[in-house]
Structure 1
Amino acid sequence: MTMTTLSSLIRTSAFLSLLIGVQGLVGSSPHSSGCKEKSSSISRRDVVSTFGGLSAFALFQPPANSFDNKISDKYDDRPKQRGGKPKDIGVSKRQDIAGEDYIGLQHCKPNGAPNCFCSTENAEDDAEHFLPAWVWPESLGDKKAAFQQLADVVNAYEPGQSGIDGGGFKIITNNPEKGYIYAQFESLKNGYIDDFELAFIDGYGDRSVQVRSSSRLGYLDFGVNAKRLNYLAAKLRAKGWDAKGVDLDTHQNYAIQNQLV
Structure 2
Amino acid sequence: MIVHARTLLPSSKSYTPSPPSSRRSLLSKATHSALTFTTTTTLLTPTLASAELKQCKKKSNNCLSTLNTNSKWISGKSQTDASKDLLDVLQAYPSTGQNNVDGGGSKIITNNLPTSLTLEFKSSGTGNFAKYFNSGNPFTDDLIVSVGDDGNVDWSSSSRVGDSDMGVNAKRVEFIEAKLREKGWKF
TM-score range, shorter chain: 0.5 to 0.7
Question: Residues 76-155 of structure 1: matches in 2 within 5 Å?
Answer: 83-87=45-49, 89-91=50-52, 105-110=53-58, 112-121=59-68, 130=69, 132-138=71-77, 142-155=78-91
Match for 1:170: what amino acid?
K
Q: 1:229 to 1:131 in 2, by over 3 A?
A: farther
Distance in 2 separating the partners of 1:200 and 1:193: 23
Distance in 2 separating the partners of 1:150 and 1:131: 18
SS state at 1:161 partner: coil
Deviation per residue, 1:189-225 (Å, 9 max, x gap):
13110000110246xxx23110110011111111100
Q: What RMSD, in angstroms, separates the aligned Cα atoms of the two structures?
A: 2.1
TM-score normalised by structure 1 residue count: 0.47
Q: 1:134 to 1:234 in 2, by over 3 A?
A: same
Deviation (angstroms), 1:149: 1.6
Pair member with larger Rg: 2
- Number of aligned residues: 133
SS state at 2:67 partner: coil
Match for 1:109: what amino acid?
K
Structure 2, gaps ≥5 residues long = 1-41, 131-137
Distance in 2 separating the partners of 1:193 and 1:120: 21
Identity %: 38
Counterpart in 2 of 1:200? 147
TM-score normalised by structure 2 residue count: 0.65
Deviation (angstroms), 1:131: 5.4
Counterpart in 1 of 2:162? 218
Distance in 2 separating the partners of 1:172 and 1:86: 9
Distance in 2 separating the partners of 1:226 and 1:153: 16
Distance in 2 separating the partners of 1:170 and 1:210: 19
Structure having greater relative contact order (Cα 8 Å, sep ≥ 6): 2
Deviation (angstroms), 1:240: 0.2
Question: Residues 39-50 of structure 1: matches in 2 within 5 Å?
Answer: none
Structure 1, gaps ≥5 residues long = 1-79, 92-104, 122-129, 244-261
Match for 1:162: what amino acid?
N
